[in-house]
Amino acid sequence: MATLEKIRSHSKVLFAFIAIALLSFVVGDALTNSSNIFFGSRNQIGKVEGNELSAETFQKQISVLTDVYKSSGQTQISEGDIRDAAWNEFVQSSVLKSETDKLGLSVTALELKEATLGENVHPILRQIPAFQNENRQFDRNKLLNLLARMDNEGEENLKNYWMFWEGQISNSILLEKYTALASNAMAAPKAEVAFLNTLNSKGAKLLIASKPYRELNDSLFTPSKAALDKKYAENKERYKTKGYRVVKTIVFDVVPSKADSEQIAEKVTNAADYLKIVKDDELQYYVSQESDTEFPFNGAYRTANDIEYSFRDFAFSAKKDSVSPVILDGGYYKTAKVLSDIELRSDSVKINAILVGGTSLEGARATTDSLIGVLKAGADFATVSSKHSMHPQLRQNGGDWGWIREGQFGLDTFDNAVFKTKVGDYAKIETNQGIYLIKVTDKTAPVKKVRLAVISNRIVSGGQTFAAAYEKANSFIAKNNTKEKFLNAADAENLIVRDLGPLTENQSRSYVENVRPIVRWAFNSKLNEVCKKPFDSNDKFLVCFVSEIVEEGYIPASSDNVSAQIESMARQDMKADQLMAELANVTDLVSVSSKIDTVSVNFSYPYITGYGTEPAVVSSAVKAEANAVVAPIKGENGVYAIRVLEVQDSPVNEEMGARKAQDEVRGFVNRMMLRSLIEDADMVDNRSTHY
């Protein structure tokens, strides 16, 4: 557990990386073995390709992923996100295993060993912060140190952490084998390669004039129902859906009352009184207990810039042990106590360090004193560190720890030992890992610093305030239990009605907190049904009714979002028809627009600088005769007229073109293969009945 805490303190992996890893790769069999299902389908989270996932196994996967996220410094990941990640892993693992088993594909123990301990470790391993040095380079010693410790008693979480990443690597290799097999069985047709080579070899310089759609007023164009139906039919596949619900909601905020504010003020006032008499050995615990901030106690010496603005003047003008008056600062009541006299101290120091171990504390102390004697006698620090340091990183770097700021590690004993030591002198710090022998090699110029403890309490609503807000929301439901009454009352009382959704059946994230109860209610309710009681969302209560139900299939044209899109596309068609008619007999670009540009296009690339993606214009240029005006051309953003000034030919390496085409085929297979298999998989998803 201690090792995991150390990993957490040094890891800064981005959520995006883990999200990509979780979507691209899957946990190995060690984390997905199904346990017995005692209660049949009630205990079954889901089933994919015949592989069942019990609630017990799913919860174990969630626990492992939670530790992985925390170990990587990601403490704000929601439970819903972790559940989704665990489910995605199960789905991908099941589908991949089903397909590769049919083909006899597997990852051997030797392959996995080479990918994790070989000379060329897998890219996933290189990206894990726990196994990187300060330059974010892979550090084999860190990996070996973790592997050596994970079987120790009490390090079960550390073992699960490693098995997670080992599973990621194993399944990444398996996926690479599968997609390679599929992509190597496909080839770009020779005729297509030849056509693409032709396009790549040709370009043109042309004059272009345009009439943008945006210059025509939308209000002048009203599509007919037939036009809307036709446009919907043309784009129907864009609106394929697994099903969703849309909910209309009114939010009743729980706003702290004057009595709530006075109660918090009194609480902080009492804390300020106790700060005046609290004993030094109780101070840190007391401040931590009384404050509601994430890291309430900072015992380090700090400069004025490191102290919150509200207390800067107080910290550097009041005497030691002085306690400030209670202040109101941005929704918080606060008080502070000066813990020291002002001192001149360096803000940062540069150090070398050796971690000294031994079979006993006395032995480690003796070894440390001996090493100090050797160093003072002139021995090279890097040489001594490489021979005697227990810390792999320090041993590799010759003991060079670099620059550190006061308070960086949150350890008063460390700061007091290091920052009081003169440049060139040595300090000893005893820890659970061993004794750190530290040499201070440089310091920044001394600045004024002081120690300050702050107690901060946010003004929050009390029980009576919550009860009053709940009763207000509940009363609204009792009086307005139909869609019509709901909307009429909202209008009469000037309440804002907002859309919540589209909500999918397993959705766990929204702009409101704690959305799962609303989702479950919506999927078990009828159209226009009003909720029976308010939903609690942190410091809000929500009242809702189901405004739209869309089952699996296609989103209907009547849906608000779809109808708006279809109407916009149909309206653009009407604008295009009008502009096409206006330019039907154009022979001179000047009559089209006062703005005429000279642009270059490549026939294999539909983008035109200054105009955006316009494939119709580029394709028209391919077929145009030199100096002939081509108009009208219906484009994505307007209607165009062009005149080709010059056709440009460039030699093409046919072999390179064929290779590029094949690479595109392989890239497409790599991107789409697993996604396609998942879409076609035999799947049962019962998550919504459990969460």
DSSP annotation string for 514-537: S-HHHHHHHTTS-TTPBPSSPEE-
CA distance 126 to 609: 39
Q: What is the pLDDT of residue 497?
A: 96
For residue 561 the two structure tokens come to 């979002």
Q: What is the pLDDT of residue 42?
A: 65
How would you classify residue 603: left for phi > 0, otherwise alpha for psi between -120 and 50, otherwise beta? alpha
CA distance 405 to 426: 18
Q: What is the pLDDT of residue 26?
A: 34
Count of all residues that appear for the chain in the document: 691
DSSP string, 127-174: T-GGGB-TTS-B-HHHHHHHHHHTTSTT-HHHHHHHHHHHHHHHHHHH
Q: CA of 210: how far to CAs of 206, 295, 596, 598, in Å?
A: 13, 60, 8, 12
Closest CA to 214 of 577, 572, 655, 676: 572
Q: If the chain, 691 residues long, is cut into consecutive pieces of 10 residues, what is the mean pLDDT of each piece?
A: 37 34 36 37 84 90 84 76 89 89 91 89 86 79 82 75 87 88 76 72 88 94 95 94 95 95 95 93 91 84 91 94 94 94 91 86 88 90 88 82 84 83 90 86 92 94 94 97 97 95 91 92 96 94 96 92 94 95 89 89 88 92 86 94 86 70 74 84 89 86
For residue 178 the two structure tokens come to 């599968």
Strand pairing report for 596-602 and 607-608: unpaired
CA distance 690 to 686: 7
Q: CA of 435: how far to CAs of 242, 363, 438, 571, in Å?
A: 60, 11, 9, 76
Please identify which residue in the block is written with the tokens 């909307």: 487
Q: CA of 2: how far to CAs of 6, 71, 105, 429, in Å?
A: 6, 11, 39, 18
For residue 361 the two structure tokens come to 């504390």
Q: Which domains does the chain have, with CATH numbers?
A: 2-184+682-689 (no CATH), 202-238+559-649 (3.10.50), 244-255+462-551 (3.10.50), 258-343+453-458 (no CATH), 348-443 (3.10.50.40)
Q: CA of 242: how far to CAs of 24, 98, 562, in Å?
A: 22, 24, 15
| Burial class, 484, CB count within 10 angstroms (exposed 0-12 / middle 13-18 / buried 19+) | exposed
CA distance 298 to 657: 62
Query: Structure pTM?
Result: 0.69
The radius of gyration computed from the CA coordinates of the chain, to the nearest angstrom, equals 34
Strand locations in 568-608 (E): 596-602, 607-608
For residues 311 and 453, the answer to whether their CB atoms sit within 8 Å is: no
458 forms beta bridges with 332
Query: What sign does the dihedral 252-257-263-264 (CA atoms) show?
Result: positive
What are the b/e assignments for 378-415, b being 16+ CB within 10 Å?
eeebeebbbebbbbbbbbbbebbbeebebbeeeeeebb
CA distance 151 to 145: 11
| Burial class, 327, CB count within 10 angstroms (exposed 0-12 / middle 13-18 / buried 19+) | middle
CA distance 365 to 376: 17
Q: What is the pLDDT of residue 406?
A: 85
For 277, the enclosing helix (H) or strand (E) is none
